[in-house]
Amino acid sequence: MQQLVDQIEKIDFQSEIYKDAYSRINAIVIEGEQEAHENYITLAQLLPAQEKELIVLSKMESRHKKGFEACGRNLKVNPDLEFAKKFFLGLHDNFQAAAKEGKVVTCLLIQSLIIECFAIAAYNIYIPVADDFARKITEGVVKEEYSHLNFGEVWLQENFTKETKAELEEANRQNLPLVWKMLNQVADDAKVLAMEKDALVEDFMIQYGEALSNIGFTTRDIMRLSAYGLVA
Ligand code: Y39
Ligand code: FE
Ligand code: FE
Ligand code: FE
């Protein structure tokens, strides 16, 4: 705790090094919220019975995007959106390909489990080390991200069969290694913001493992699935 207090006191939110790192992390979050907005609209088309609920989630995502844009402006940072688009390309393409084939289970795994858990981990780790303005925004956002994760958990739990289980395993195999790659790509910038990679990995694994457990996977499955592709 004292360590955290010392660390926060040292953060200079207006230093060039902080603002440079923030230009990429802030852009990733803005782009991520935009993609999440679009993904929930696509999911609404794939799941007509949940259309209204999913449109509500998509609207939350655009509000999140506006909130994080305000965080960047507040620090006078220009988000590097070109970098962020490339950052999400792998997950973006896999989501699009799955949607085209009507693979709703894969789409839910990518957006409502993987991306939401990544967001929850990142926001939880960011909140204690954020500037006052961004902290208030992020606290409001993370509460809603839990409800997005919950949507995916409930749907996948209610539809858990041999077939959906197999599709989840395959989608996990294709997409989880991308998350570890993404995390490595931002580790240095995250560190400048006082967010440790180990803490991000740990929080992600806890959220993701809990989600898989709620859906119906065994502990043994979860161990195998949640560390898939994790190298360093
Ligand atoms: O569902 C959502 O709102 C998720 C899209 C938002 C993505 C957040 C991505 C966070 C990654 C940040 C990495 C910082 C270390
Ligand atoms: Fe969001
Ligand atoms: Fe979300
Ligand atoms: Fe989100």
- ipTM confidence score: 0.93
Tell me the best of 33, 34, 127, 197 to mutate to test the pocket of ligand 1, counting ligand atoms within 8 Å of each CB and taking the most. Answer: 33
Tell me the best of 29, 58, 137, 180 to mutate to test the pocket of ligand 1, counting ligand atoms within 8 Å of each CB and taking the most. Answer: 29
Protein residue closest via CA to atom 1 of ligand 1: 116
Ligand 1 lined by 148 (C-beta under 6 Å): yes
C-alpha closest to that of 103 among 152, 53, 47, 162: 47
The pLDDT of residue 7: 72
129: Cα separation from own chain's centroid? 18
C-alpha closest to that of 215 among 163, 170, 164, 156: 156
Tell me the best of 92, 116, 189 to mutate to test the pocket of ligand 1, counting ligand atoms within 8 Å of each CB and taking the most. Answer: 116
The pLDDT of residue 232: 54
Under a CB-based contact definition with an 8 Å cutoff, are residues 193 and 19 in contact? no
* Rounded mean pLDDT for each run of 10 residues along the chain, 232 residues in total: 71 97 98 98 98 98 98 98 98 98 98 98 98 98 98 98 98 96 97 97 95 97 88 62
The pLDDT of residue 10: 78
The Cα–Cα gap between 169 and 174 comes to 9
C-alpha closest to that of 42 among 60, 56, 30, 54: 54
C-alpha closest to that of 42 among 29, 61, 66: 61
Instruction: Quote the tokens at residue 12.
Output: 């200079």
Determine the distance separating the centroid of ligand 4 and the alpha carbon of 60, expressed in angstroms: 8
Please report the sign of the dihedral spanned by the C-alpha atoms of residue 210, residue 204, residue 174, residue 30.
positive
The pLDDT of residue 227: 82
Q: Which ligand is nearest to the CA of 130?
A: 1
The pLDDT of residue 208: 96
225: Cα separation from own chain's centroid? 17
The pLDDT of residue 172: 97
